[in-house]
Amino acid sequence: MTPDTPAPGSLRPGGRTARVRDAVLRAAGDLLAERGFASLDLAEVAARADVGKTTVYRRWRTPTGLVADLLVEMAETSLPHANTGTLRGDLLANARLVAKTLTDSRQSRLFKAVIAAATSDDTAAEALRRFYDIRLTEWVPCVEAAIARGEAPPETDARAVLSAVSAPLYYRLLASGDPLDDTTITTAAEAAALAAGAGLFTRPQGQSAR
Amino acid sequence: MTPDTPAPGSLRPGGRTARVRDAVLRAAGDLLAERGFASLDLAEVAARADVGKTTVYRRWRTPTGLVADLLVEMAETSLPHANTGTLRGDLLANARLVAKTLTDSRQSRLFKAVIAAATSDDTAAEALRRFYDIRLTEWVPCVEAAIARGEAPPETDARAVLSAVSAPLYYRLLASGDPLDDTTITTAAEAAALAAGAGLFTRPQGQSAR
Q: Do residues A102 and A173 lie in contact, with contact meaning Cβ atoms separated by under 8 Å?
A: yes
- The domain ranges of chain B are 15-70, 78-197
| Disruptive mutation site among B37, B120, B128 for chain A (greatest number of A CBs within 10 Å) | B120
- Name the minimum distance, in Å, from the CA of A39 to any CA of chain B: 10
Q: Do A170 and B171 touch (CB under 8 A)?
A: yes
Nearest CA in chain B to A33: B120
Does the ipTM surpass 0.95? no
Closest by Cα among A69, A138, A75 to A101: A75
Q: Do residues B81 and B148 lie in contact, with contact meaning Cβ atoms separated by under 8 Å?
A: no
Task: Kindly list the residues from chain B whose CB atom is less than 8 angstroms away from the CB atom of residue A136.
Answer: 176
Burial code (b: 16+ CB inside 10 Å, e: under 16) for B123-160 equals ebbebbeebbeebbebbebbbebbbeeebbeeebbbbb
Q: Do A194 and B198 touch (CB under 8 A)?
A: yes
DSSP of A37-106, one letter per residue?
A: GGG--HHHHHHHHT--HHHHHHHH-SHHHHHHHHHHHHHHTPPPPP--SSHHHHHHHHHHHHHHHHHSHH
Q: Do B167 and A170 touch (CB under 8 A)?
A: yes
Q: Do residues B71 and B114 lie in contact, with contact meaning Cβ atoms separated by under 8 Å?
A: yes
User: pLDDT under 70 in chain A at which residues?
Assistant: 1-14, 203-210
Domain A15-70 top-level CATH class: mainly alpha
Task: Kindly list the residues from chain B whose CB atom is less than 8 angstroms away from the CB atom of residue A201.
Answer: 187
Alpha-carbon torsion angle A42, A44, A48, A53, nearest 10: 50
- Name the minimum distance, in Å, from the CA of B48 to any CA of chain A: 22
Q: How many angstroms separate the CA atoms of B70 and B76, rounded? A: 10
Listed in sequence order, the residues at least 6 apart from B75 whose beta carbon sits closer than 8 Å to its beta carbon are: B130, B131, B134, B135
Strands (E), A26-77: none
Q: Determine which helix (DSSP H) or strand (DSSP E) holds A161, and give its type and residue range.
A: helix A158-171
pLDDT of residue B5: 46
Task: Kindly list the residues from chain B whose CB atom is less than 8 angstroms away from the CB atom of residue A116.
Answer: 115-117, 119-120
- Name the minimum distance, in Å, from the CA of B168 to any CA of chain A: 5
pLDDT in tens, A57-66: 999 999 989 9
Tell me the pLDDT of chain B (210 aa) as tens digits: 444 444 444 444 568 889 999 999 999 999 998 888 888 999 999 999 999 999 999 999 999 899 989 988 888 887 889 999 999 999 999 999 999 999 998 889 888 999 988 988 888 899 999 999 998 999 999 999 999 999 999 999 999 999 999 999 999 999 988 899 999 999 999 999 999 999 999 966 444 333
Q: How would CATH label the architecture of B78-197?
A: Orthogonal Bundle (1.10)
Compute the Cα dihedral for B76, B79, B80, B81 and give only its sign: negative
Task: Kindly list the residues from chain B whose CB atom is less than 8 angstroms away from the CB atom of residue A35.
Answer: 120
